[in-house]
Amino acid sequence: MLALESDGSALYTIQSLWTMAREQLDVTVVIFNNRSYAILNVELARVGAKNSGPKARRQLDLNEPDVDFVELAKGFGVPAVRADSAEGFTAALEQAIAEPGPYLIEAVVPTMFSDRQLRAMPYALGALGKLPRPVAAAVKRRLYP
């Protein structure tokens, strides 16, 4: 089973890692870490709260200190790696699928992506596996250069 999370929602469900380790569930968790409660930023924009001040924006920021999801997972007994490139993510996912039991991949999302791209990223990555390889490669290059 593959579970996709953004880093903000992952903080709400981090305790599930203990259950995964205890029961040796064959679940791979991928956290797309953009260091923000991105969904809350989207919701604020939807209700017209576009000009929030620095203190309000800081409440939705998940850095200073950065959350280390790899160390959190390891602390719960779940093997984990951080991927900061497409190649690293692919290698980590292949490793996670090859090994039985729980696994966590923290996929670091560069800040160069727009809010729209960040929201679409989990869906785009999920759909790539269903496309023919050359088409998937072309789409990946176009969406995430």
pLDDT in tens, 16-74: 899 999 999 999 999 887 766 555 655 556 666 666 666 665 556 556 677 788 999 99
In sequence order, what are the residues at sequence separation of 6 or more whose Cβ sits closer than 8 angstroms to the Cβ of residue 16? none
Q: What is the pLDDT of residue 139?
A: 72
CATH T-level assignment (fold) for domain 2-112: Rossmann fold (3.40.50)
pLDDT in tens, 110-141: 766 666 665 666 666 666 677 787 877 777 67
Burial of 13 (0-12, 13-18, 19+ CB in 10 A): exposed
Q: 96: which 2 tokens?
A: 């996670």
What is the residue extent of each domain of the chain? 2-112
Q: What is the DSSP letter of 109?
A: P
pLDDT in tens, 75-115: 999 999 999 988 999 999 999 999 999 999 999 877 666 66
User: CA-based angle 24:101:82, to the nearest 5?
Assistant: 120
Query: pTM of the predicted model, to two decimals?
Result: 0.62
Give the three-state DSSP class for 31: strand
Q: 61: which 2 tokens?
A: 């920021």
